[in-house]
Amino acid sequence: MKKKILIGYNYILHYRKPMFNLLSEKYDVTILHSGKSINNNTDKYKELIFPVKKHGPFYLQQGLIKEIQVNDYDYVILLFDVRWLNTIRSILKYRKKVKIILWGAWLTNSNLINKIRLYLSKKVYANVFYTHKSRLDFINLGLDETKTYVANNTFDVGERVKSFNNEVKDIILFVGSLDSRKENKVLISAFNNILDKIPESINLIFIGDGDEMINLTNQVNTFQIASRIKFVGRIEDSSELKGYYKRSIVSVSYGQSGLSVLQSLGYGVSFLTKENSISGGEKNNIKHKFNSIFCEDNITSLEYYLTELCLDIKYSRELGKNAFEYYTKYCTIENMSQGFIDSIERTSKTTIDKTLS
């Protein structure tokens, strides 16, 4: 008989579905969340949707407390956000009734929040971290190492391609929402500044949409370089998206490094971002000058690395090959799922990158 598991989540996102389905092959999994249903007939997990109310910075998610109370779950995995008060209540009230696993803690700039997270982390059965670094942060603060596991946060790219082997390499690529956090204005300015240094065949391609679209297109028109920069909008077709990655020299997001890092590595394309870019930990997968590039927080550094990669395609391919192999070893959705299985079964089968640079 399969172990019965409840996963308490906030708003379920499509990129989590592959992991939930993998866990459901081994366990009887129910996902409780407050988003829109995205289940279909192929999904193996059950879904419960309850409303959530916001009170200042806090959230009250209905249904979680009662679901734990009236059903005999073997394990409850909770996305760890102290602003979700019923998550905290569940830990304090039911940690002796059911084995609770907390998922996704990291240290913040608030000493109070860090103390709360550490206190609660010590009370539960196990803790799953997105990165080895976050795991070490909590161990160094006194959390029992035997209660810690890593499920490297990732994005399942589906059918992968070895883009580094593609004959044509003529694109600098951006994939994601067009918002100010990405600092795409800096990217466009840098590209404009290096046009006389790189081959005329190389273009800058933006895939995605968002609030910054008008500002970015105005900037491109001001520079009069519309023939070299294309906005193709959001792409849902994975085969079309793969076509762009195949031709990519590098994938760039100067100001933010989120799950697009993993998508790029998964397709065998290096990722370029500034060293202090906004990130939820995904940029820990970037190994400078091995599988991707960290530039400094200035346009000159960005220009330097863009130029270097465009002029040395052999180097670009080498980074892409390393990116592909790194993803294969550490970043597959199977490896992320294994991190959760380890936390349940008290095993250590997941592959963890324990380097911190």
> What's the pLDDT at 221?
97
Q: How far apart are CA 70 and CA 355, in angstroms?
A: 43
Sequence-distant (≥ 6) Cβ neighbours of residue 86 within 8 angstroms: 60, 61, 62, 64, 65
DSSP H or E stretch at residue 305: helix 299-311
> What's the pLDDT at 343?
98
Domain residue limits, the chain: 4-154+332-345, 163-330
163-330: CATH topology is Rossmann fold (3.40.50)
Q: Beta strand pairing status for 52-55 and 171-175?
A: unpaired
> What's the pLDDT at 40?
85
Please provide the distance, in angstroms rounded to a whole number, between the alpha carbons at the two ends of the chain: 43
Q: What is the pLDDT of residues 52-62, one digit of tens each?
A: 999 999 999 99
Which residue shows structure tokens 């039911």?
94
- The answer to whether 249 and 170 are in contact (CB under 8 A) is yes
pLDDT < 50 stretches in the chain: none
Tell me the DSSP string of 26-50: HSEEEEEESS-----TT--SEEEE-
> What's the pLDDT at 175?
97
Beta strands in 71-201 (DSSP E): 75-79, 99-103, 126-129, 148-150, 171-175
Architecture, CATH, for domain 4-154+332-345: 3-Layer(aba) Sandwich (3.40)
> What's the pLDDT at 13?
83
> What's the pLDDT at 357?
56
> What's the pLDDT at 134?
94
Domains 4-154+332-345 and 163-330 share a fold: yes
> What's the pLDDT at 39?
83
Q: How far apart are CA 132 and CA 127, in angstroms?
A: 12
- The answer to whether 306 and 129 are in contact (CB under 8 A) is no
- In sign, the C-alpha dihedral spanning 243, 229, 310, 179 is negative
